[in-house]
Amino acid sequence: MNEEIIMSTAEMVRSKLAGEGSGHDWFHIERVWRNAIKIGRAEKADMFIVQLAALLHDLADDKVVLDEETGLSEINYWLEGEGVPPNVIEPVLEIIQTISFKGGTGKILGSLEAKVVQDADRLDAIGAIGIARAFTYAGSVGQPIFDPQYEVREKMTKEDYRNGKTSSIHHFYEKLLKLKDLMNTETAIQMAEERHQFMEQFLEQFFKEYTVDEE
């Protein structure tokens, strides 16, 4: 029964995110889902809660939907319709509302399952895929690749994080390079190391090309 609900939810999310162009598409969800399974099993989490939260986590995100509350209501309605019990729906909704970075102002996580899903989501924001997604998102909202006049923002409100002036390269310093040290589980900490190093190498090469000396 649980497996049927998970697969049905996956198909719903795939349909819902068809054509999404900000880097929060179905393929992002699928990668987060797979990483959440790997981390969750290693950490001995409740895999039904983990998988549902991983699949649904962006359907109430303001980067994807216009209204978070409506998104949460629709998720709740879906889960109830699938026959998911309240003692599963409640933690799934809690995870969806608490795992986002939001400029470093995210909430403290209260469960192992939330930590697993957050780690899986953050792993997809770093490394080669994270780099690709950073530029995809920036292009979708009209941000430049790099503007040397901008400063790296250290302290941000959620509003600053969403709407303040930044560039793709600044985003590395404002978020992506911080994520390795913000992983919750030992499994994710190990998985993050190589991805973090790749981003550092990318930035080194970027600035090498950006500041090329004239002969």
Nearest partner of 93 among 74, 77, 72, 112, judged by Cα: 72
Contact 129, 31 (CB under 8 A): yes
Contact 148, 181 (CB under 8 A): no
Q: Dihedral of CA 23/28/29/32: which sign?
A: negative
pLDDT of residue 101: 80
DSSP state of 13: H
Whole-number Å distance between alpha carbons of 11 and 26: 10
pLDDT of residue 137: 93
Q: Dihedral of CA 175/177/182/186: which sign?
A: positive
pLDDT of residue 67: 86
What pTM, to 2 d.p., does this model score? 0.91
pLDDT of residue 200: 98
Contact 151, 3 (CB under 8 A): no
Q: What is the mean pLDDT of each run of 10 residues along the chain (215 residues)?
A: 96 93 93 98 98 96 84 96 97 93 68 97 97 95 93 79 84 96 97 98 96 67
Count other Cβ atoms within 10 Å, centred on residue 176.
23
